[in-house]
Amino acid sequence: MSRSNRRATQTGLSLIELMIAMVLGLLVAAGIISVFISTSSSNRVQTQLATLQETGRFAISRMSDDLRMANGQYCTNSGGIAKPIATSGGTYLDGLRAPIVYAKNLTGGMFDVTTPMGGSSGGNNYPAVPSNQYTFPSFLSMRGYDCTTSACTPDDPNNTVAGIPAMGAALNDRVPGTAVLTVRYMNPSRGWAIGRPGYTHITPATAGSASSVSSITIAPDSSVGEPPTSDFKSGDLAMLADCSNAQIFAVDDSSGTLSPDSSKNNGTITLQQPSSAPRLFDFNRDFQTVTYYVKRVSLNNNGAAPYTGELVRRVNGADLPHGGSEDPIVQGVERLDFKYGVEDANGMTSFLSASDIDSGKVTCPPSAPNPLGTDPGCLWRAVKSIEVSILVDGQQPLYTLTNSDMSYVYNVDGSNTPKPPSDTSHTIKPTDQGFVNQLLRRQFTALVSLRNFNP
């Protein structure tokens, strides 16, 4: 075959055909990429929603465990043997169950207290420590603080809760617009049972059931998990309790033998009557102080923006010798709010803010005879339920989200219609707190009944 004929039989793609093929290839590739991006974005959203749901449920569950125990003093909750009190409305309430304080320096034995007896806080003027024994003050059982982005009511928590950070825009500051709540209760897993032969026992000063207490010897029963004698630290207060009453007093500690210190107490410590399952506690360690607040953390753990909130559980002022800690519970919490259901002197229940309770907006429940003469924040011991609300975000910004995708409801703001983060119906917007808008957000709410409310 000649060279000219061979050239005539050679064929190929023209430039136009090549361009058409490339365009078709690009269209197919674009479709594949579009599907991949859409699937990937949907997967990220679904993953965040699953994480968000788990975060919210765990946070609510963990807080509920502590809130249910609020005001608990061993087994002296409502429904026991205390004499009922008749109210003006004709109903009967359980008698006041609050420890009798003999120790002259009670607040010196409690954690996260910066306002001593005789001080003032949030408009309440607290009386000085009396020269006689008195009933445990209500404001030391529980106290909450509602916060906007600029201030808190009834008081700045930093004035009354030692150790928590102030609100601010810096890393590890308390997140503006988040509430703070401190509750106290006796740790039911602690203490030493009294009365079993060979173990912890009381030596009376004189014979008889109403004798004064000469000493208490701690002899732990390790077979039932009682703590070692060394857990009672020198200088700590003792709490002697049973299922109807309790006493808090100062002691001298001599190798596990505790003797009431008359120089640090008002009055003589007597054996309790009737005595039902008496138990000794280290008041400083075992009467736990638990504070919940939200602090600012970095989403990428590099100390820089973007930020989110972290729910923190602070126990006993984080004092390690007394079993304290400050533990992060979950990240992604942007809002934290509480409403308090209180029972007044007529047995009626109202849901109030922290300021309403602190100022005694409704009639306070009957009080036991008390040398204090007044009981500031008396409604704190009448709280029978707490409504807790949190707003949780997805923690990783998704910049492909539309306003509809980002819309959420937070009932505390008074709206029941989902709105985007920038909408003014949100009393506190994410940008007010230093958070980005491009996050998924959901509200979680629970109503927690307090088994130990003290009407």
Neighbours of 405 (CB within 10 A): 13
Q: Kind of pairing, strands 383-393 and 333-343? A: antiparallel
- At residue 8, the pLDDT reads 55
- At residue 79, the pLDDT reads 46
Helices and strands counted in the chain (H then E): 6, 23
User: 355: which residues sit within 8 A by CB, 6+ positions away?
Assistant: 122, 146, 153, 154
Whether 419 is covered by a domain: the verdict is yes
Residue 414: is its pLDDT beyond 80?
Answer: yes
pLDDT in tens, 105-157: 888 888 888 776 777 777 777 777 778 888 888 888 889 999 999 999 999 99
d(CA 11, CA 9): 6
Residue 207: is its pLDDT beyond 80?
Answer: no
Per-range mean pLDDT, top range of 72-81, 144-153, 239-248, 350-359? 144-153
d(CA 296, CA 174): 6
Residue 49: is its pLDDT beyond 70?
Answer: yes
Give the distance, in angstroms, between the CA of residue 341 and the centroid of all CA atoms in the same chain. Answer: 16
The label of the residue with tokens 């973007």 reads 306
User: What value, to the nearest 5°, has the Cα angle with vertex 357 and ends 353 and 359?
Assistant: 115
Report yes or no: 405 and 389 within 8 Å, Cβ to Cβ: no
Q: Where are the beta strands (DSSP E) in 283-420?
A: 287-298, 307-315, 325-331, 333-343, 349-352, 383-393
Residue 371: is its pLDDT beyond 60?
Answer: no
DSSP secondary-structure letter at 383?
A: E
% of the chain beyond a pLDDT of 90: 46
Q: Kind of pairing, strands 100-101 and 246-254? A: parallel
Q: Is the peptide bond before 397 cis (omega within 30 degrees of 0)?
A: no
**Total domains, the chain:** 1
H-helix or E-strand spanning residue 445: strand 441-449
Whether 388 is covered by a domain: the verdict is yes
Q: CA gyration radius for the chain?
A: 31
Q: Is 217 helix (H, G, I), strand (E, B) or coil?
A: strand
Predicted TM-score (pTM) of this structure: 0.86
- At residue 423, the pLDDT reads 95
Tokens matching residue 153: 């009511």
Give the distance, in angstroms, between the CA of residue 444 and the centroid of all CA atoms in the same chain. Answer: 15
d(CA 410, CA 453): 28
Q: What are the angstrom distances between the C-alpha of 204 and each of 35, 99, 278, 320, 433?
A: 82, 21, 14, 34, 59
Report yes or no: 201 and 211 within 8 Å, Cβ to Cβ: no
Averaged pLDDT for residues 437-444: 94
Whether 401 is covered by a domain: the verdict is yes
> Among 35-39, 295-299, 446-450, whose mean pLDDT is lowest?
35-39
Tokens matching residue 17: 């055909």
d(CA 315, CA 368): 29
Per-range mean pLDDT, top range of 44-58, 66-80, 207-221, 379-393? 379-393
Averaged pLDDT for residues 153-169: 91
Report yes or no: 218 and 259 within 8 Å, Cβ to Cβ: no
Residue 373: is its pLDDT beyond 90?
Answer: no
User: 280: which residues sit within 8 A by CB, 6+ positions away?
Assistant: 191, 192, 194, 200, 216, 218, 238, 239, 240, 258
Residue 341: is its pLDDT beyond 80?
Answer: yes
Residue 305: is its pLDDT beyond 80?
Answer: yes
Residue 294: is its pLDDT beyond 70?
Answer: yes
Alpha helices in 251-300 (DSSP H): 283-286
User: Helix, strand, coil: what percent of the chain each, to 5?
Assistant: 25, 30, 45
Whether 106 is covered by a domain: the verdict is no
Whether 75 is covered by a domain: the verdict is yes
> Among 44-53, 282-291, 347-356, 430-439, whose mean pLDDT is lowest?
44-53
- At residue 420, the pLDDT reads 95
Q: Kind of pairing, strands 142-147 and 85-86? A: unpaired
User: 366: which residues sit within 8 A by CB, 6+ positions away?
Assistant: 85, 87, 93, 96, 345
Tokens matching residue 21: 């093929």
- At residue 17, the pLDDT reads 75
Q: Domain limits at 166?
A: 53-96+134-184+307-449
Instruction: Indicate the average pLDDT of the chain.
Output: 85
% of the chain beyond a pLDDT of 70: 85
Phi and psi for 329 in degrees, rounded to 5? -95, -60
Averaged pLDDT for residues 24-40: 71
Residue 33: is its pLDDT beyond 80?
Answer: no
Sheet strands side by side (includes 152-153): 152-153, 142-147, 180-186, 287-298, 307-315, 325-331
Residue 57: is its pLDDT beyond 60?
Answer: yes
372-387 burial, b at 16+ Cβ within 10 Å, e below that, comes to beebbbbbbbbbbbbb
- Nearest CA to 63 out of 374, 448, 362 is that of 448
- At residue 180, the pLDDT reads 97
Whether 109 is covered by a domain: the verdict is no
d(CA 384, CA 366): 15
d(CA 444, CA 10): 74
Whether 206 is covered by a domain: the verdict is no
246 or 329: whose pLDDT is higher?
329
Residue 11: is its pLDDT beyond 70?
Answer: no
21 or 235: whose pLDDT is higher?
235
**Residue 274 β-bridge partners:** none
Tokens matching residue 194: 């009294």
Averaged pLDDT for residues 47-70: 91
Q: Is the peptide bond before 278 cis (omega within 30 degrees of 0)?
A: no
Whether 260 is covered by a domain: the verdict is no
